């Protein structure tokens, strides 16, 4: 799954952009997860292979992104 696809999938779990206390409570964990995915964006340096990019010092997808993808696929 590409970074953009993962970001979209996590965003789909956010029920609304309402900023009330109740919605913030429900959406809080998903917004936090989206922030983590945003921070782990590949840097676009696709060397030596076009499908490889660096993320937080590791090849993308890093272990963090792999764990998120695994849990979302359940």
Give the tens place of pLDDT for each residue, 49-64.
455 567 777 888 889 9
Assess whether the previous peptide bond of 21 is cis (omega < 30° from 0): no
- Would you place residue 34 in the very low, low, confident or very high pLDDT band (cuts 50, 70, 90)? very high
Longest dimension (CA), the chain: 47
Assign 46 a pLDDT band (cuts: 50, 70, 90).
Answer: very low
CA atoms within 13 A on the CB side of 68: 26
Average confidence score pLDDT of the chain: 84
Sequence ranges of the domains in the chain:
3-72
């Amino acid at each position: 799954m590409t970074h953009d696809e993962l970001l979209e999938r996590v965003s789909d779990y956010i029920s609304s952009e309402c900023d009330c206390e109740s919605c913030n409570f429900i959406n809080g964990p998903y917004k936090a997860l989206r922030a983590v995915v945003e921070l782990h964006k590949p840097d676009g340096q696709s060397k030596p292979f076009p499908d490889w990019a660096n993320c937080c010092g590791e090849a993308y997808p890093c272990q963090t992104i792999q764990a998120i993808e695994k849990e979302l696929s359940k």
